[in-house]
Amino acid sequence: MKPKTKMIHAGIVGDEQTGAVSTPIYQVSTYKQESVGNFKGYEYSRTGNPTRHALEELIKDLEEGEAGFAFGSGMAAINSIMMMFNTGDHVVFTDDVYGGTYRLVSKVLNRLGLESTFVDTSNLENIENAIQDNTRAIYVETPTNPLLKVTDIDGASKIAKANDVLLIVDNTFNTPYWQTPITHGADIVLHSATKYIGGHSDVVAGLAVVNSKKLAEELHFIQNSAGAVLGPQDSWLLIRGIKTLGLRMEATESNTKQIAEFLDGHPAVTKIYYPGLKSHPGHELSKRQAGGFGGMISFDVGSEERADQVLSKVRYFTLAESLGAVESLISAPARMTHASIPKDRRDELGITDGLLRISVGIEDAEDLIEDLKQALEG
Ligand SMILES: *Cc1c(COP(=O)(O)O)cnc(C)c1O
C-alpha cells in the first residue's frame, strides 16, 4: 500500500455489522455480558472502546508497530510511557524537548524518583556519554522545536540496543506520513495528535505505538490502570483527520519549501532554521530518515521590536501556540513556549528575542508569502 492509500485503508475501516463506511462513535462506558466474564471483546471503556480501538489499530499500522494506544493528550501519552519505569531508573532526553515534556520530567516525575539527563542528541556521542548503569531509555524528539535539530534515529537505536535500553521517539513534527521511527529501530513512538494528526485545531489527544508484545502488555496495563484514555468522539475526530493526513502533509511541504526559499534570501531575516535548506546541519540526515522536511520554520528578525512588528502585521498567520493544523500559525518562542528557560540559556541555544516560529498551513503559498513580505517590510 502506498502512503496516501494507507491513511484511508489501514486499521479497521468502517463497521462490519452495518456496512457503515465511517467508523461509528461508540458513546458507551460499559458492555453487556452474556454470563460472568463472557463478553464480546469489550467490558468497560477505560479498558477498551471500539472507536478508540479503531484509532489504535490505525496508528499501529501507520507506525508499523505491534500495538497502538490513544490517550487524552500528548502529555498523557508521555506520562503513561514514563509510568513503565521505576524509582531510581534513568532516562536520557533530547535537551530541547517540548517544554511540557521537560516540565513533566523535571518537576513531577523527579519527585517520584525518575532520574534524567538532557543532552543535545543530534550529536550521538552525547547520548553515549550520558548512559549510566541505571539508564532504561533514550528519549528523542526529532526534529526539535523551535530550532529543528535532527537526531539520527538509526544511530540512537544502535546505542540503545548496545546498552539494552529502550529508544522512545516523539514523532509529532514529522508524523508517520514522513517518518516511521520503528522502521529505524525505535521501540516506542509517540505523538501529540493535537498537532498534524488531528490537523484542524479542534482536538487535544496523544498516541503511542510499541514494537513488541511485551511492551504492548506493559503499556496497556498502564493505560488501563492510570486511565488517561481518549474518549470516543475525539478518537473519531483523529480517524477523520488521518484520512487527509497525506494530502495535508504534501500541501504543507510544498508551501513550507516556497516560504523557506523566500525567507532565506530576505534582508530582514538574519537566520533561518528549516531542515529542507541545504545549509541546515540536519539536512542530509533528514533526507535519509524522513520523506519530507515538515511544516515548521523558525527565523530570526534580529530584535523583539522587529518580531513584534511582524506579529502585528501578519493577516493569515494567527499568533498562537500549537502547530500542525490547516491554518498557518506564528509564535515568538522566547516569550511564549520557551519563556520558562532563563534568557542567557535561551540566547546560548539561539532562541533569541527576535526568533519567530511559523507552522505553515495549507492555504495558497502565494498568499502566505505575500503576507510575510508585507509584514517584514513594514
Ligand atoms: C504539543 C506537543 C506535545 C504535548 O502534547 P499535548 O497534546 O499538547 O499534550 C508533546 N510533544 C511535542 C513535540 C509537541 O509539539
For 263-313, the pLDDT digits (tens) are 998 999 999 999 999 999 999 999 999 999 999 999 999 999 999 999 999
Cell numbers of 304, please?
523583539
Same domain (yes/no): 272, 371: yes
CA distance 233 to 160: 37
User: Can you give the pLDDT at residue 341?
Assistant: 78
Distance (Å) from CA 320 to ligand 1 centroid: 14
Q: Which of 79, 98, 357 should be mutated for ligand 1, with most atoms under 8 A from CB?
A: 98
| pLDDT 10s digits, 55-72 | 999 999 999 999 999 999
Same domain (yes/no): 164, 310: no
| pLDDT 10s digits, 146-163 | 999 999 999 999 999 999
Residue where a domain terminates, one of 209, 227, 243: 243
Q: Which residue puts its alpha carbon closest to atom 5 of ligand 1?
A: 74
Maximum Cα interatomic distance, the chain, rounded to a whole number of Å: 74
Same domain (yes/no): 16, 139: yes
Same domain (yes/no): 280, 224: no
Phi, psi of 285 (to 5 degrees): -60, -45
| CA-to-CA separations, 116 to 10, 86, 224, in angstroms, rounded | 37, 12, 26
Has residue 378 got a pLDDT over 80? no
Annotation says 373 is catalytic: no
Distance (Å) from CA 270 to ligand 1 centroid: 28
Same domain (yes/no): 103, 187: yes
Distance (Å) from CA 302 to ligand 1 centroid: 28
Q: Which residues line ligand 1 (CB under 6 A)?
A: 73-75, 98, 100-101, 141, 145, 170, 172, 192, 194-195, 204, 206
Query: What are the counts of helices (DSSP H) followed by strands (DSSP E) for the chain?
Result: 14, 12
Same domain (yes/no): 171, 282: no
Annotation says 170 is catalytic: yes
Annotation says 335 is catalytic: no
pTM over 0.85: yes
Q: Which residue puts its alpha carbon closest to atom 4 of ligand 1?
A: 74
Has residue 333 got a pLDDT over 90? yes
Catalytic site residue from 61, 89, 170, 353: 170
User: Could you report how far apart the first and last alpha carbons of the chain are, in Å?
Assistant: 48
User: Can you give the pLDDT at residue 366?
Assistant: 98
CATH of the domain at 182: 3.40.640.10
Q: Which amino acid is at 263?
A: L
Quote the number of domains for the chain: 2
Same domain (yes/no): 83, 111: yes
Atom of ligand 1 nearest to the CA of 76: 9
Q: Which residue puts its alpha carbon closest to atom 8 of ligand 1?
A: 74
Same domain (yes/no): 226, 339: no
Same domain (yes/no): 228, 269: no
Same domain (yes/no): 353, 207: no
Of 79, 85, 83, 25, which is closest to residue 50 (Cα–Cα)? 25
The rounded percent of the chain whose pLDDT value lies above 90 is 92
Residue where a domain terminates, one of 243, 261, 295: 243
Q: Which residue puts its alpha carbon closest to atom 2 of ligand 1?
A: 192
Average pLDDT over residues 130-135: 98
Catalytic site residue from 52, 136, 195, 248: 195
Output the CA angle 177-289-285, nearest 5 degrees. Answer: 135
Average pLDDT over residues 2-11: 95
CATH of the domain at 319: 3.90.1150.10
| pLDDT 10s digits, 198-247 | 999 999 999 999 999 999 999 999 999 999 999 999 999 999 999 999 99
User: Can you give the pLDDT at residue 337?
Assistant: 86
Which domain, by its residues, includes 57?
A: 3-243
Q: At 348, is the pLDDT very low, low, confident or very high (cuts 50, 70, 90)? A: confident
Same domain (yes/no): 238, 258: no
Same domain (yes/no): 86, 232: yes
User: Can you give the pLDDT at residue 131?
Assistant: 98
Annotation says 177 is catalytic: no
Distance (Å) from CA 359 to ligand 1 centroid: 14
Q: At 187, is the pLDDT very low, low, confident or very high (cuts 50, 70, 90)? A: very high
Residue where a domain terminates, one of 198, 218, 243: 243
Atom of ligand 1 nearest to the CA of 322: 1
Has residue 340 got a pLDDT over 80? no
